[in-house]
Structure 1
Amino acid sequence: MTVELEWMNVDNLPLPSDVIEILKNRGIIKLNPPQTEAVKKGLLEGKRLLLTSPTGSGKTLIAELGIISFLFKHGGKALYVTPLRALTNEKYLTFKDWEKLGFKVAMTSGDYDTDDAWLKNYDIIVTTYEKLDSLWRHRPSWLNEAQYFVLDELHYINDPERGPVVESVAIRAKRRNLLALSATISNYTVIAKWLNAEPVATNWRPVPLIEGVMYPDKKGYTILFKDNTLKKVYGDDPVIAYTLDSLSRNGQVLVFRNSRKTAELTARKIASYMNFIPLDEKALSDIVNEIDQIEEGGSEEKESLKELISKGVAYHHAGLSKQLRDIIEEGFRQRKIKVIVATPTLAAGVNLPARTVIVGDIYRFNRRIAGFQEEISVMEYKQMSGRAGRPGFDEMGEAIIVVRDKKNIDKIFKKYILSSTEPLESKLGNERAFYTFLLGILSAEGNLSEKELANFAYESLLPKSLVDIYFDRAIQWLSEHSFIREEEGKLILTDFGKRVADLYINPFTADIIRKGLENHRSSCDIAYLHLLAFTPDGPLVSVSKNEEEELMGLIDDLDCDLLIEEPYEEDEYSLYLNALKIALIMKDWIEEVDEDTILGKYNIGSGDLRNFVETMDWLTYSAYQLSRELKLEEHADKLRILNARVKDGIREELLELVQISGIGRKRARLLYNNGIRGLGDIVMNVDKVKSLLGPKLGEKIAQEAARLLNRFY
C-alpha cells in the first residue's frame, strides 16, 4: 500500500491556533505524505492507527499531533513509549515544546521498584517499554488516567531480548486508545488487525535513497546500484575507498562494522587519510577540549578518541561512556565530525543521518551458533540504511553493502535490497519470556481465573497451539515454585511472587537467588556477586580462552565457597565463568580500584562498566528485598550493605559520606583520608571541606550534610 504524494497545509488542520503556531515556529508549513495520510485516516479524531514508514519520515510529529489533539478533546494523560533510553531522552526534549500550551511533560526510565507517584501531576509521559511494564505491575492510580498510548519502534517485537516486553505492553495498551509507529514491516496488515488499528503504510522518505552492493573488481571496487548503474572507486580497502569518495563530495559517512575492535581499527585507518579532507580544526579542537572536561570514560579511550576527532573521525559503540557517545553524536549532527564508525546499536539508538551509510559486514558474531557467525536481518539492514540522507543537506542518500566476493552479489541484492523486511512474530515462545509475561499480567491485573489469564496469552502474536502448550507448563511451574497459588477458582500471586513481579526480575532469576540463599549460610561479597551474575538477568561479558583458564584456576583459590555449584554442561560452565568475571570486576569496583585499572585489567570499556554497575545494583537490591521477604535476615544484612557499595563503588566506611549529593567515590575517599568521616565531621569542619573540594562545592556539601543530619535527628 503506497499513499499518493499529497502534502497538507498545517493551516487546514482542525487544531487550536496555538498548536499551529508551534508547528510554524519549527518551520513546518505543510505535513509530508505519511503525516497527511495519518490525518486523513483519523489521527486527529483519536482513531487507532498503525503507521509504518522509513526512518526519518516524520513519525514523531504524527505522534505529537495525535497526543495533543487527544488531550485537548479528552484530557487525561498520554504515554509515549520507546525501546531505548537514548530515544526516551530525545523524544522528551521534543515534547517539551508543548509545555507552552500548559501540558506538563515528564520522562521516566529505570528504577523498576516504584510506582512513580510524582507522575500524577504530568500530562505527557515519555518512558520505555520496560518501565511501563514495571509501572503496570505496581498499579499506580495515576496510570488509570492514561488513555492514549504511542508505541514507538514497534518492530522491536522481533528483537529476541526486548521483543517479549514490547509485545506484553502492546497487549495491554491495545485495550485503550493507540497509535503504533514502526519502520516498514512486511506483515503490517496482520499487525494492524492484531492491534485493532487502521494501517497507514508508505515508503516515502524525505531524502530519496539509492542502494548498492560493492565488490572487488580488478584494481579497485565496483558498486552496482539498484537501478543497474555502476560506479568505480580505487584503494586498498573498500570501506576507506568509498568513505573518501563520499567525503570528497562534501558528504558525511556512517560506517557500520560488526565488532568494537573492527570499528575502532577502521576508524584509525580512515583517520590516516583525513589530511586530504577540509576540516574545521577550531570546531574539532572544541570537541577535544569538551572530552577533557568530562569525568566519565577511561583515560585510554578518551586519548584514542581525541586523536581521531582532531582528524574528523570517531568510533561509537556501547563500550564507551554515555557522555563520550553524546559528545560524538552532537559533533556529527553539527557536521564537525565527518565520519563515525559504529557497531549496529547506533542505527536504532538515535536520530543521526549521514549522506552515506556503508554496511561493512553482513555477518555478526553469535556464540550460540556453530562458527559464531550469522547474517544480519533485513530489518537491521533497513535500520542502518535508513540513516542515509541528511534532510536539508543532501539531494540523495546512499547505502552501500560491502561484499568480499563477487559471487555473493545476487544473493545480497535479493535478500537486503529487493526484499521486504521479516514479518513481525512473537518472541514470547520460550519459557523464560512466557512465564515472566504471565507473572506480569497477574501483578498488573490482580487475581484472575485460568481462563481469564489464558485470554491475555491468546491476545499475543503466538499461535494458539503454542499458547496452550506453554500455558499449562507455566501454571504448573509457577505453582510448584511458589510464585502463584489457586484460591476459590482464582490464580493469586504469593507474597514472594508479587515481590518478584514488583522487582521486575525474571522468575527464573528469583528461583536461583532463593535456592542460593536458602541452601547456604551468609557468605562473602564475591559469592553473592557471582550468584547474581549467574542468573538470567545477569550481565554478559566477553571471556577469552586465556581468561577461561585463569578463572578456572581461580575458583579453587577463593577465600569462600560460591553459592552456585559448578555445572557439568559446557554452556552452563561458560555462563558460570562469565559470572565469575563479572563478580571479580564488581569486587574491584567496590574495593575502590581505579576505573582505568579495572578497564585495562578486564579489557572492557567504561560503558560496559557502567552497564555492569547498573545491572548489579538492581540485582543486589532485588536479592536484598527477596532475602527480607524470605526472612533470611543474615543474608539480608550483608546484601543491604553490598547493594549500597555496588551503587557507588566504595568500601563500607564511605557509606555515610556518599549519601550527600555531589559526593562520589573519589571525593568521599579524599574527605575520609583527610579525617572527614561522616556528616557530623563535615558540619564541624566546613573550612577544611572547602579547602579540599573548593569553596563553592564545599559550601554546598556542608549545607546538604546539615540538612541530612536534621532529618535524622
Structure 2
Amino acid sequence: MVPYGIGVDVLDRWKSAMPAGLNELQLHAINEHGLLEGKSLVVAAPTSSGKTMIGELAAVREAGVGGRAVVLLPLRALVNDKYAYLTDLDGEHLEVVRATGEHSDQVGSIYQGQYDVALLTYEKFLNIITADPWVLRGISLVVVDEAQNISDSTRGANLELLLTLLRAGHSRGGAPQIVALSAVIGDTNGLERWLDASLLRTDTRPVPLRESIVDGAGTATHLMPDGSIAEDPDFVLPDRWVGGQGSKQIVLPLVRRLVGEGKKVIVFRSTKGKTIGTATYLAAALGLPPARSALDALPDRDLSTSSATLRAALNGGVGVHNADLAAEERSVLETRFRDPQSDIAVVVATTTLAMGVNTPAEAVVIAGLTHPAGSGDYSVAEYKNMVGRAGRLGITEAGESYVVATGQPRPSAAWNRYITGQPEPVTSHFLDAATDPQTLILRCLVALQGSVQADELIDLLENSFAVWQRMDAGGNGWDRTTLERDLEALLDADLLDREPDGALTVTELGRFAGESGLEVRSVTRVSSLLRFAPALMSVADLVVIAQVTVELDGVHLPVAGRARAEHQRWPMTLQRAGAAGSLVQRLHVGGGVVVARQKRAAAALLFASATPMDAIEREITRHLWGRAASGPVRAVAGRTRDVLDAVIGICRVRGLGVQDEQAVDQLAVRLEIGLPDAIAGLADVIGRNLTRGEYLDLLAAGVASPDEVMDLPVEQLAEILSPATARALLRLLDEREVVVSDV
C-alpha cells in the first residue's frame, strides 16, 4: 500500500495490531471499489466485520498524500473513544483533532486546517459547514460512521442535510470522497447512487454468532451460524423461587449458566430502572467476587444515587451502565469490561451501549424488545446492533445472543421478526411531518451565503436524498407552492429579507438561527419571550430563556405535575438565583408546560453551582418517588449549553445586553462540568481534566484559579486531589503556559 501514500511506519503498526493482515472485506474495498483511489463507497456489514478499518485506511491514506480527512460519528462518547484510539496508534505521525460541542473542542485547528484527521459528531460538523462552508475546501475525504442513522426519525434529517451539502459540492467545486460505513441494513433504496458511490455489502460475520430465543419455560431455539435450527427444551431451568414477574425467572438462571461457562455477558434492558433492578438481583444471586479493578478506578467525589447503586452492583461482580452515571463512571466500566482479564463478569445496560462503543462480550442477553413510554418495538436494525456486541474479532472466537421472550412479542413473533427477519430499508425523514421544513430551508440559505434566488435554493434542496428518490422514480421536485409559504413564514419571523430583484437574504437573526441549528420555532419562542426581558440580563436569565426552545422541551426531567409545591417552589428558586420574575412567569410561550420549564432551568442552575450532586437529586426529586435524577439533570444542563450561543445571539440582535460579559463567556463550561462562577476561570483553562468533585474540593480549600493552583505547595495540592492528579494538573498548567501573577 506504499504506492497509495501510506507510510511504512503506519503499515508496521497495523501489522503489529493485525498480524493476519487485511480481511476479505477490506481487500474488496481497495481492489474492487477504489477506496484508496478517491472513489466514494457505501459499506454495509455486520459489527466486527472490519468496516471501521476501511474508514481508517481511507483517512490515513488521505493524510499520507497531503489531504485532510473528517470522520463523523453519532455520539460524543464514540468521538472520544476513536480519538483515544487514533492518538495512541498514529498520534506520532498524524495530527488528530476532535470537536463535539464540548469545552475541549479543537475547532480552531479545524478552521486553520491544522490537522490530518478530524473527528466530529454529525451535528457539530453540520453547524461548522453551514456557518462557514469554505471549510469544505480543505477537506478531501469524509468518513461517515453508523451511516444507517440517516433512517433515524429524530436525527436522520440532520445527517441527510449534512450529506446533501457534501453531495452538492457547495463551496468546493465538487463533492469530496465519501465513505459511508453502515451496520447491516435492508434495501438501500439507492443511497449509494445518490452519493455517487459503489456499494460493498456483506452479511458475513468473521466471528460466528448463534442467535437464540428463550421462552418462559426455559426452552431455547437456536439459529446456528450455518443457518440450521436447533431446539433445546431444557436449556435453563426457570427460577420460580426468585419472586417477581416477567423475565427475571429466566434472566437469572441464563446469566448464571453463561457466567459459569466463563463467558462475559451484556444484558440489555429498555429503561434505566430496569438496568438497576436487574443488576441488583444478579449481583445478589450470582455470588461473584467484587470487581475490584473497577471499584478502585471509579471517581470517589460528588457521588450520585446511581453511583452508590453502581458500587453495590460491582461488589457483586456486576456493572450497570446507564445515563444516570457520570461520564467518568461509564468510561471506567467500558474500559474495564473490554479488558480480556476484566473482573467484571456482567454488565447490565440500556441500548446506548450498543451504538458502537467498543464493549465486546461472548454473550448478549436481551430482556424486552419494546422502547419505554409506548414508543414502539425495537427495529430489526436496533436488535442487530445489540447482538453485534457478542463476539468480536481478535477477542472472542464465537458469539451468542439470547432474546428472553417471556412477554410481548411472543417467542414465535420474536423469532420471525428479529432472528430470521431482515433489517428495515434505508428511509429518508427529510420530508416527514415531524421534520420542520422552515428550519431546513433556513439552514440551506445560510450555507448558500449572501443573497440567492429561489431557484438556487431549490437546486440545493433537490440534492437531498428524499427529493432525489422522488425524482428518480419520476416524481416532482421540491414543491414550489409549499416553498413560497415557508419563505413567507420566515420573512414574517424576521429571519429573511426579500430583495427588490426577488433574491433572498438571511437576516442577522436568521443567521444565528441557521448556524446554530435551532429550530425556527425555537427562535420565534425566544424572540417572543424577550419582550419581557430586562435590558441587562443575568446568566440565570439566559438559562431560563433557553428552556422555551423546542430542543429543551425535548429533554425529560420528571415533574410531579399535580403537586402544588412543585408549582410554587421553582419560580422562587429561580428568582433567588437571579432570574427576572418577568421571564420566570411567562414561560408559557409556544405552549410548553410552565412548571416543567421552570424546573429544568432550576436544575441547570443547581448543577452550575457548588451544590453536591446528591443534594441536587434530593431537591429535584422532593415530590417524586425515587431519588435518581443525576442523568436528567446533566442532560438538561448539557442541552442548555448546546443552545446557549444561539440564545445569546438572539438577545444581542434584539438589542439586549448582559450584566457580566465574563460570566456569560464562562457559563458554557460551567454547564458542561457543573461548576459555580467562582472556579469557572480555572475550568476555562483545563476543562474536563478534573472531575466536578475535584473542582469542588479545590474550591472548598480556597483554590479557585490557575495562579492559586500554581502557588500551592505540591504536597498540599496532593492532599486535596491525589498525588497523581496533582502532578498531572501542574504539568497541564505548565504546558498551557499559565502565567503566575507576581505576589
Using the size of structure 2 for normalisation, the TM-score is 0.82
Higher mean alpha-carbon deviation, 481-490 vs 52-61, is at 481-490
Q: CA deviation at 1:16?
A: 5.2
For residues 245-293 of structure 1, what are the alpha-carbon distances to aligned partners after superposition, in whole Å with 9 as ceiling and x for unaligned? 2112221111111110111111111112322x5x5x6xx22221111x4
Q: Where do 5+ consecutive residues of structure 1 fail to align?
A: 1-9, 367-371
- What count of residue pairs does the alignment treat as equivalent? 685
| Alignment partner of 2:314 out of 304, 309, 318 | 309
Residue type at the aligned position of 1:612? V
CA contact (8 A) 1:403 1:409 kept: yes
Confirm or deny that 1:46 pairs with 2:61. Answer: no
Question: What pairs up with 1:23-422 in 2 under 5 angstroms?
Answer: 23-39=14-30, 40-73=32-65, 75-96=66-87, 99=90, 102-110=93-101, 116-119=107-110, 120-139=113-132, 142-174=135-167, 175-188=175-188, 190-217=190-217, 220-225=218-223, 227-231=228-232, 232=234, 233-236=236-239, 237-275=249-287, 284-291=291-298, 293-295=299-301, 298-335=303-340, 336=342, 337-366=344-373, 372-405=374-407, 408-422=410-424
Residue type at the aligned position of 2:382? E
Residue type at the aligned position of 1:587? L
Q: Where do 5+ consecutive residues of structure 2 fail to align?
A: 168-174, 240-248, 471-475, 576-580, 621-626
Q: CA deviation at 1:163?
A: 1.2
Q: Any idea what SS the aligned residue of 1:423 has?
A: coil
User: Structure 1 residues 251, 702: closer, same or farther in 2, change over 3 A?
Assistant: closer
Residue type at the aligned position of 2:393? P
Q: CA deviation at 1:170?
A: 1.2
In 1, Cα distance between the equivalents of 2:3 and 2:703?
66
Which residue matches 1:509?
522
Q: CA deviation at 1:658?
A: 5.8
Which residue matches 1:443?
446
Q: CA deviation at 1:309?
A: 1.6
For residues 312-347 of structure 1, what are the alpha-carbon distances to aligned partners after superposition, in whole Å with 9 as ceiling and x for unaligned? 211101111111111111121114211111111110
Q: Any idea what SS the aligned residue of 1:427 has?
A: coil
Q: CA deviation at 1:116?
A: 2.5
In 1, Cα distance between the equivalents of 2:153 and 2:303?
31
| Alignment partner of 2:507 out of 473, 479, 494 | 494
Which residue matches 1:4?
none
CA contact (8 A) 2:548 2:587 kept: no
User: Structure 1 residues 373, 17: closer, same or farther in 2, change over 3 A?
Assistant: closer
Q: Any idea what SS the aligned residue of 2:525 has?
A: helix
CA contact (8 A) 1:432 1:508 kept: no
Q: CA deviation at 1:430?
A: 4.0
Which residue matches 2:497?
485
Q: CA deviation at 1:600?
A: 3.3
Identity %: 24
Which residue matches 2:473?
none
Confirm or deny that 1:630 pairs with 2:654. Answer: yes
Which residue matches 2:484?
472
Q: CA deviation at 1:690?
A: 6.5
CA contact (8 A) 2:306 2:324 kept: no
For residues 182-203 of structure 1, what are the alpha-carbon distances to aligned partners after superposition, in whole Å with 9 as ceiling and x for unaligned? 0111122511111111111000
In 2, Cα distance between the equivalents of 1:117 and 1:577?
39
CA contact (8 A) 1:628 1:636 kept: no
CA contact (8 A) 1:355 1:388 kept: yes
CA contact (8 A) 2:212 2:220 kept: no
Residue type at the aligned position of 1:333? R
In 2, Cα distance between the equivalents of 1:315 and 1:688?
36
Q: CA deviation at 1:650?
A: 5.3
Q: CA deviation at 1:606?
A: 3.7
Q: Any idea what SS the aligned residue of 1:341 has?
A: strand
Q: CA deviation at 1:110?
A: 0.8
Q: CA deviation at 1:398?
A: 1.7
Higher mean alpha-carbon deviation, 669-678 vs 428-437, is at 669-678
Q: CA deviation at 1:652?
A: 5.3
Q: Any idea what SS the aligned residue of 1:619 has?
A: helix
Residue type at the aligned position of 1:230? E
Residue type at the aligned position of 2:49? S
In 2, Cα distance between the equivalents of 1:416 and 1:677?
54
CA contact (8 A) 1:654 1:677 kept: yes
CA contact (8 A) 1:35 1:62 kept: yes
User: Structure 1 residues 406, 323: closer, same or farther in 2, change over 3 A?
Assistant: closer
Q: Any idea what SS the aligned residue of 2:216 has?
A: strand
For residues 587-608 of structure 1, what are the alpha-carbon distances to aligned partners after superposition, in whole Å with 9 as ceiling and x for unaligned? 3334532221112332444444
Q: Any idea what SS the aligned residue of 1:593 has?
A: coil
Q: CA deviation at 1:310?
A: 2.8
Which residue matches 1:6?
none
Q: Any idea what SS the aligned residue of 1:160 has?
A: coil
CA contact (8 A) 2:214 2:404 kept: yes
In 1, Cα distance between the equivalents of 2:571 and 2:88?
59
Which residue matches 1:541?
556
In 2, Cα distance between the equivalents of 1:190 and 1:60?
22
In 1, Cα distance between the equivalents of 2:545 and 2:254?
48
In 2, Cα distance between the equivalents of 1:509 and 1:555?
22
Confirm or deny that 1:459 pairs with 2:460. Answer: no
Q: Any idea what SS the aligned residue of 1:242 has?
A: helix
In 2, Cα distance between the equivalents of 1:704 and 1:391?
39
CA contact (8 A) 2:208 2:398 kept: yes
For residues 449-475 of structure 1, what are the alpha-carbon distances to aligned partners after superposition, in whole Å with 9 as ceiling and x for unaligned? 211111221121224568426533432
Q: CA deviation at 1:666?
A: 7.0
CA contact (8 A) 1:287 1:331 kept: yes
Residue type at the aligned position of 1:490? A
CA contact (8 A) 1:114 1:135 kept: no
User: Structure 1 residues 242, 390: closer, same or farther in 2, change over 3 A?
Assistant: farther
Give the superposed CA RMSD. Answer: 3.9
Higher mean alpha-carbon deviation, 671-680 vs 645-654, is at 671-680
User: Structure 1 residues 548, 177: closer, same or farther in 2, change over 3 A?
Assistant: farther
Which residue matches 1:3?
none
Which residue matches 2:637?
613
| Alignment partner of 2:567 out of 532, 552, 556 | 552
Residue type at the aligned position of 1:63? G
In 2, Cα distance between the equivalents of 1:348 and 1:103?
26
Confirm or deny that 1:532 pairs with 2:546. Answer: yes
Residue type at the aligned position of 1:268? T
User: Structure 1 residues 325, 466: closer, same or farther in 2, change over 3 A?
Assistant: farther
For residues 348-397 of structure 1, what are the alpha-carbon distances to aligned partners after superposition, in whole Å with 9 as ceiling and x for unaligned? 0402221111111111123xxxxx35211111111111111133454431
Question: What pairs up with 1:564-579 in 2 under 5 angstroms?
Answer: 565=586, 567=588, 572-573=591-592, 575-579=593-597
Which residue matches 1:5?
none
